[in-house]
Amino acid sequence: MDRRPIGVFDSGLGGLTAVRELTKRLPNESIIYFGDTGRVPYGPRGRDVIIKYASQDVNFLRTFDIKAILVACGTVSTTALDTLQQIYDMPLTGVVESASAKAARSTKNGRIGVIATSASIASGAYSRVIHTIDPSLTVIEKACPLFVPIVENGRFSKGDPLPELLVRDYLTELKALDVDTLVLGCTHYPLLWDVISDFMGEGVTLVSSGAEAAEYIAAELQEKDLLTDTKSAPNRYYVSDSTETFRKFASMYLQRDLDGDVEKVDIDKY
């Protein structure tokens, strides 16, 4: 048993989609979340900058006595996780492996679409992992760089013409290519679930990278006997920009009330 909290981070609020799933599965676990809201988005940035930002995020989380870190950011998972795992001697779980495994299990026609940020798609990480699982699968990847900014600004609801226009623009090609499984390779994208699902149609299974990663880390901690038996501390949330904006939107990502204090940190110090 291990009563220490689990650290979770993302470039912004998207990682809360993983927190939501983690809390559903492991209600007793305390979570320390960092959202780098002052520097979001990471997706259009180069690898060196993403590694620098992600290292600062990990350094900050490590100021707490945490037992593991869930890298709830597709962009960091695809471009910086290997480097972080070499630097830090602690369990760091990303979102690529578990989402890829779920997609490979789900597809019936062998055609998988992956949507993610520009950096994630440029890394080729999803495609590489899916092909390691099954080289016969066809993977079609598409960067959707405008999804993160609209989601961070609260524009993700069905009936809003902005997300509907962008979803049509980005996903028309994938739909025409007849994918039957679509990986939402960025943890912000589940907010667009209804709009994407409506557009792709009933026959297409959506895979949430944050949810799959949460399920994976929950199983891993259980297997290693690192879960707690009782909630020893409330969740805590940290951001690098306005706590007000975070408070305003967080419950939409969590699909419940925000369940902990929010504080601003100067991430440049880490």
Task: Name the catalytic one among 73, 148, 191, 217.
Answer: 73
Q: Is 73 a catalytic residue?
A: yes
Q: Taking the C-alpha atoms of 193, 42, 264 and 96 in order, what is their torsion angle to the nearest 10 degrees?
A: 60
Determine which residue in the list 7, 43, 163, 190 makes contact with ligand DGL, applying CB under 6 A.
43
Q: Does 186 bind ligand DGL (CB under 6 A)?
A: yes
Please state the three-class secondary structure of 136-199 as a single string.
CCEEEEEECCCHHHHHHCCCCCCCCHHHHHHHHHHHHHHHHCCCCEEEECCCCHHHHHHHHHHH
SS3 111: strand
Determine which residue in the list 40, 191, 204, 226 makes contact with ligand DGL, applying CB under 6 A.
40
Of 27-35, 80-88, 183-191, 196-204: span binding ligand DGL (CB under 6 A) = 183-191
What's the DSSP call for residue 260? E
Structure token digits, residue 23: 């809390």
Enumerate residues 6+ apart whose C-beta is below 8 A from 201. Answer: 175
Which 74-113 positions form the footprint of ligand DGL (CB under 6 A)?
74-75
Q: Does 117 bind ligand DGL (CB under 6 A)?
A: yes
**Residue nearest ligand DGL (C-beta atom):** 43
Q: Is 186 a catalytic residue?
A: yes
Number of alpha carbons in the 13 Å side-chain half-sphere of residue 100 = 25
Of 48-56, 162-170, 184-192, 223-231: span binding ligand DGL (CB under 6 A) = 184-192
What are the residues binding ligand DGL (CB under 6 A)?
A: 10-12, 14, 40-43, 73-75, 117, 120, 148, 186-188
**So which residues are the catalytic ones?**
73, 186
